[in-house]
A and B are shown apart, each in its own frame.
Chain A
Amino acid sequence: MMDFGFTINKSSRIDLDRFDKAGFDKLAKIEPDVRKCIACGSCTASCSAGQFHRTSVRSAILSIQNAKENEAVELLKGCMLCGKCQMTCPRGINIRHLILSILKFYGTK
Chain B
Amino acid sequence: MEKNVLIIGGGPAGLEAASILQKSGYSVTLIEKTDHLGGHLAVWDRLFPKGQSAEELLYRLVDNLGPVNCLLNTDIQSINVLDRSFSVILSNGNILLADAVLLACGFDLFKAEKKEEYGYGIYDNVITNADLERYFQEGDGGRIINPKKIGFVHCVGSRDEKVGNLSCSKVCCATAVKQACEMKQRFPESEVFCFYMDLRMFGRYYEDMYLEAQKKYGIRFIRGRVSEVSEKGDKTLLVKAEDTLSSKPIMVSLDLLVLMAGIRPSASGRRVGDMLHLMNEEDGFFSTKDSIYSQQKSDIPGLFFAGAGTGPKTIPETLNDARSSALEIDRYLKSNFPKKK
Task: Name A residues whose Cβ lies closer than 8 Å to a Cβ of B.
Answer: 12-17, 19, 21, 25, 28, 32-33, 35-36, 38-39, 58-59, 62-63, 65-66, 91
Q: Please state if B245 and A39 are interface contacts (CB–CB under 8 Å).
A: yes
Question: Chain B binding site: helix, strand, loop or mixed by DSSP?
Answer: strand
Contact pick for A35, options B191, B218, B248, B250, CB 8 Å:
B218
Q: Please state if A66 and B253 are interface contacts (CB–CB under 8 Å).
A: no
Q: Is B122 an interface residue (CB 8 A)?
A: no
Task: Name B residues whose Cβ lies closer than 8 Å to a Cβ of A.
Answer: 191, 193, 211, 214-215, 218, 220, 223, 243, 245-246, 248-253
Q: Please state if B250 and A13 are interface contacts (CB–CB under 8 Å).
A: yes
Most chain B CB inside 10 Å of its own CB: which residue of A12, A16, A36: A16
Residues of A within 8 Å of B251, CB to CB, are 13-17
Contact pick for B246, options A32, A36, A63, CB 8 Å:
A63
Given A13-B249, A59-B246; 19 other pairs, CB 8 A cutoff: A13-B248, A13-B250, A14-B243, A14-B248, A14-B251, A16-B252, A17-B251, A17-B253, A19-B191, A21-B191, A28-B218, A35-B214, A35-B215, A35-B218, A36-B214, A62-B245, A66-B246, A66-B250, A91-B211
Residues of B within 8 Å of A17, CB to CB, are 251-253
Residues of A within 8 Å of B211, CB to CB, are 36, 91
Q: Please state if A14 and B249 are interface contacts (CB–CB under 8 Å).
A: yes
What's the minimum C-beta distance from A18 to chain B, rounded to whole angstroms? 10
| Bound Cα distance from A17 to B251, whole angstroms | 8
Q: A15-B251, A16-B252, A17-B252 known; A66 and B215 CB under 8 Å?
A: no
| Bound Cα distance from A58 to B246, whole angstroms | 10
Nearest chain B residue, comparing its CB with the CB of A21: B191
Residues of A within 8 Å of B223, CB to CB, are 39
Residues of B within 8 Å of A35, CB to CB, are 214-215, 218
What's the minimum C-beta distance from A61 to chain B, rounded to whole angstroms? 10
Q: Please state if A12 and B218 are interface contacts (CB–CB under 8 Å).
A: no
Residues of B within 8 Å of A12, CB to CB, are 248-249
| Bound Cα distance from A36 to B211, whole angstroms | 7
Residues of B within 8 Å of A66, CB to CB, are 243, 246, 248, 250
Most chain B CB inside 10 Å of its own CB: which residue of A25, A28, A35, A39: A35
Q: Please state if B215 and A36 are interface contacts (CB–CB under 8 Å).
A: yes
Residues of B within 8 Å of A58, CB to CB, are 245
Residues of B within 8 Å of A15, CB to CB, are 250-252
Residues of B within 8 Å of A59, CB to CB, are 245-246
| Bound Cα distance from A59 to B243, whole angstroms | 11
The contact sample of 18 A-B pairs, CB cut-off 8 A, is A12-B248, A12-B249, A13-B250, A14-B246, A14-B249, A15-B250, A15-B252, A16-B251, A17-B252, A21-B191, A35-B215, A39-B223, A39-B245, A62-B243, A62-B245, A62-B246, A66-B250, A91-B211
